[in-house]
Amino acid sequence: MKEEKLVGKGIVKTYGGKNVLHDVDLELEKGKIYGLIGRNGAGKTTLLSILSAQNPATRGTVTCNGMPVWENREALDHICFSREINPVSNGANGYKVKDYLKAASIYMPNWDKEMADRLVKEFELDVKKKIAKLSKGMLSMVTIIIALASKADYTFLDEPVAGLDVVMREYFYRVLLEEFTQSGRTFVISTHIIEEAADVFEEVIILDKGKVILKENTEELLERAVHVSGLAESVDTVTAGLQTFHEEKTGRSKGVTVLLGEGEKIPESTEVSMQQMNLQQVFVSLCGKSES
């Protein structure tokens, strides 16, 4: 029996002599929604393009259900990377929306035309309009329709809500969860709008400077992330020996983020303030610039 996982091992990607990805190991299990977050230039799009065989790795391997993905139609039938559309660079300039969706339906063996038609209607998308004439939000709608209607076991979306207003973003996440619940597909969503997407992510993958620095169940991560603030000496006392990040100093006071390990606790103290953190705050603490 084949393993139902998408696995990247030792992935390196080099552009112009500079490594964009550094020995990335990543395992995506069937039936989860992953959030892929990182700063601009961290390598998120490059990683997704390599995992979906749209871009060759300089070194390393990618397998889907035990099969290599590179130039392997059988494996690629299980994967869809619906990325941001650039009408000029990808040759879609003269295509109408209906032509673009038709091409996707031919390429994707499990295409769900009924779902695509329903989403077109819900998004109020004019299928006779040329791709080149679409707004950023409308282009995002097209990428979302392709991703969801592909019915691919492993579906990657790169900044899917870019340009969408809050009503359409809410609609997208609702439809995504409905599809996930019904199908058990694996989704990887790369987004900068972390706070509103956090509740959707079962697991979060944080990419920083081309390296995966964290891959963890979102709920468990937030349970062990604590912001500790107060007089510097008091903060140092209660956090001694613990893993701390993102030190912020103001006069004699300071704040740090603590990631508690198994069995670790912060000693109770009236000298410091302790607060649980949301995913965006944890991300900034791990990948942002320290103020010390």
Instruction: Report, as an integer, the average pLDDT of 21-29.
Output: 96
Mean per-residue pLDDT over the chain, rounded: 92
Instruction: Report, as an integer, the average pLDDT of 99-126.
Output: 95
Percent of the chain residues topping a pLDDT of 90: 85
User: If pLDDT is split at 50, 70 and 90, which confidence band does 229 have?
Assistant: very high
Instruction: Report, as an integer, the average pLDDT of 24-31.
Output: 96
Instruction: Report, as an integer, the average pLDDT of 248-262.
Output: 94
Query: From the centroid of its chain, how far is CA 26?
Result: 13
Residue 89: pLDDT over 80: no
Residue 109: pLDDT over 60: yes
Percent of the chain residues topping a pLDDT of 70: 96
pLDDT of residue 192: 87
* Cβ contacts of 64 within 8 Å, gap of 6 or more: 5, 6, 7, 75, 76, 78, 79, 154
- Alpha carbon distance 94, 16 (integer Å): 32
Residue 1: pLDDT over 50: no
User: If pLDDT is split at 50, 70 and 90, which confidence band does 77 have?
Assistant: very high
Contact 119, 142 (CB under 8 A): no
User: If pLDDT is split at 50, 70 and 90, which confidence band does 95 have?
Assistant: confident
Closest alpha carbon to 157 in 25, 51, 67: 51
User: If pLDDT is split at 50, 70 and 90, which confidence band does 96 have?
Assistant: very high
pLDDT of residue 24: 97
pTM of the complete model beyond 0.85: yes
User: If pLDDT is split at 50, 70 and 90, which confidence band does 238 have?
Assistant: very high
User: If pLDDT is split at 50, 70 and 90, which confidence band does 292 have?
Assistant: very low
Instruction: Report, as an integer, the average pLDDT of 11-26.
Output: 94
- Alpha carbon distance 275, 194 (integer Å): 19
Which pLDDT tens digit goes with each residue over 188-227? 999 988 988 999 999 999 999 999 999 999 999 999 999 9
